[in-house]
């Protein structure tokens, strides 16, 4: 007797004939965890409903964008009102000004900001500006940090590249990456060695202040401030990729949380409230070099799109100090309770957290860099992922990704998540060290 396939399975089979891997972003294909990706029909708060009617507690959150929860009433209302006035004009709108005001008011190092359409575009543009401002070409990035899929930074990237086991990407010319230097996250000595050899050629150091694309890896004490000192001494710029951490780990992002001010910052995710968006910003002097004020060219047909501006503005206006306090408390509770469940089950694993971002690594010690993250037992994570899915919790489908909490994850949801963790740990092959 043939078992009927689910609607998600049917759609995935159809999609594979129409799109590479059946998806529009690689990690969604479940390659590292196995099984069939769930095709989502709707979402509300922190709950997803798939096309088969199954409901899941969501810790993907559109990869961090949905800090207010799915279909938050304030965000929906703002988008609906904007939609009725028109979706795109190709000319300035008041919403762009208002969102820029919010960003500048919250982020200590940003005096001017330019809206773009994705985090990838934001980083690409910031790197161009850094090179123009310094007259240098080389960029230092960190193994395991992912900054978008454009050519010059697809070197030892994390996220989906690590998930799929691809160190680079075909189609990226050697000439494109010859100016990209790679150091180890949380290792200032590796950075200093590069500057000792090539310091006068380095335009910028680009870093996720909290790594999120090799799983959540906090900066070690003195790491970010050390990068600040090195770049100031050498005349290079420090660029924080806060596409993930911006307005997620604190009101002013990771730079406010750790008290280190970069020269340029890139944003995405939260500032669009789930609608495609990106931005980059810095001092008035640096940003004055962007056209039309300056000669560094960057443009975009849909930059400052009214729907994205409205959704982002409504989201940011929900995020006050009390919001972050509540997110911190529930995220801390989730981490500490998972730690306790792991100890009770005698399972060797660590949970790493910054703010409302966390990752569970099946390993015996803390993860400080990409080689540590790669050492973790990703087969065990895949097994854990499938068990959690069966118990109604949808985690990011890779051990190299961050879980995200939202304002909609209340105490009852956290308790249900912990019960799913308990059942998954005791009922799966991840049991035992």
- Residues with a known catalytic role: 146, 241, 269
Retrieve residue 317's tokens: 């206006």
Cβ 394 vs Cβ 48: under 8 Å: yes
Q: Distance between alpha carbon 267 and the CA centroid of its chain, in Å?
A: 10
- Residue closest to 373 by CA, chosen among 134, 115, 181, 186: 186
Structure tokens at 206: 């680009």
Q: Got the DSSP string for 213-245?
A: BTB-BPPPTTHHHHHHHHHHHHT-EEEEE-TTT
Residue 370's nearest CA partner among 142, 141, 31 is 142
Cα(109)–Cα(222) distance, rounded to whole angstroms?
19
Contacts of 87 (CB under 8 A, 6+ apart): 305, 306, 307
Task: Give the phi and the psi of residue 268 in degrees, each rounded to 5.
Answer: -175, -160
CA distance 128 to 234: 19
Q: Are 67 and 247 in contact (CB under 8 A)?
A: yes
Residue 282 phi, psi (nearest 5): -175, -155
Tokens read off for 191: 């950075």
Helices (H), 4-111: 7-16, 73-85, 94-106
Residue given tokens 């310094």 in the structure block: 134
Edge-first strand order for the sheet with 202-207 is 112-116, 278-282, 264-268, 237-241, 202-207, 138-142, 180-183
Which secondary structure element, helix H or strand E, spans residue 167, and what is its range?
Answer: none
Integer angstrom CA distances of residue 57 from 41, 45, 325, 403: 14, 9, 22, 12
């Amino acid at each position: 007797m043939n078992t009927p396939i689910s609607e998600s399975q049917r759609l995935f089979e159809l999609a594979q004939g129409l799109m590479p891997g059946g998806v529009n972003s690689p990690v969604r294909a479940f390659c590292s965890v196995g099984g069939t990706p769930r095709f989502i029909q709707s979402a509300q708060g922190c709950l997803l409903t798939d096309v088969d009617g199954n409901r899941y507690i969501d810790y993907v959150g559109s990869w961090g964008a949905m800090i207010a929860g799915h279909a938050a009433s304030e965000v929906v209302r703002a988008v609906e009102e904007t939609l009725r006035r028109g979706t795109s004009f190709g000319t300035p709108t008041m919403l762009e000004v208002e969102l820029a005001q919010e960003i500048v008011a919250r982020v200590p190092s940003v005096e001017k900001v330019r809206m773009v359409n994705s985090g990838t575009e934001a980083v690409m543009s910031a790197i161009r500006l850094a090179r123009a401002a310094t007259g240098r070409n080389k960029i230092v990035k960190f193994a395991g940090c992912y900054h978008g899929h454009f050519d010059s930074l697809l070197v030892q990237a994390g996220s989906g590249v690590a998930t799929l086991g691809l160190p680079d990407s075909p189609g990226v010319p050697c000439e494109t990456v010859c100016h990209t230097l790679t150091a180890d996250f949380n290792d200032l000595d590796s950075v200093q060695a590069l500057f000792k050899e090539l310091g006068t050629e380095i335009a910028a150091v680009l870093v996720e202040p909290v790594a999120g694309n090799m799983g959540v890896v906090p900066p070690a004490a003195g790491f970010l401030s050390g990068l600040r000192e090195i770049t100031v001494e050498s005349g290079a710029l420090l660029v924080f990729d806060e596409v993930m951490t911006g307005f997620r780990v604190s009101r002013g992002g990771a730079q406010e949380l750790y008290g280190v001010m970069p020269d340029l910052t890139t944003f995405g995710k939260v500032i669009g409230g789930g609608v495609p968006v990106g931005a980059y910003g810095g001092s008035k002097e640096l940003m004055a070099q962007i056209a039309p004020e300056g000669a560094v060219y960057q443009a975009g047909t849909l930059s400052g799109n009214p729907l994205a501006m409205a959704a982002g503005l409504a989201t940011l206006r929900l995020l006050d100090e009390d919001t972050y306090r509540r997110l911190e408390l529930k995220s801390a509770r989730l981490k500490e309770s998972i730690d306790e469940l792991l100890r009770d089950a005698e399972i060797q694993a660590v949970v790493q957290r910054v703010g409302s971002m966390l990752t569970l690594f099946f390993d015996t010690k803390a993860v400080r860099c990409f080689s540590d993250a790669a050492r973790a037992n990703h087969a065990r994570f895949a097994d854990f992922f499938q068990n959690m899915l069966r118990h109604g919790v949808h985690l990011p489908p890779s051990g190299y990704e961050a879980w995200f909490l939202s304002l909609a994850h209340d105490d009852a949801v956290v308790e249900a998540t912990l019960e799913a963790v308990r059942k998954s740990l005791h009922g799966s092959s991840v049991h035992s060290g």
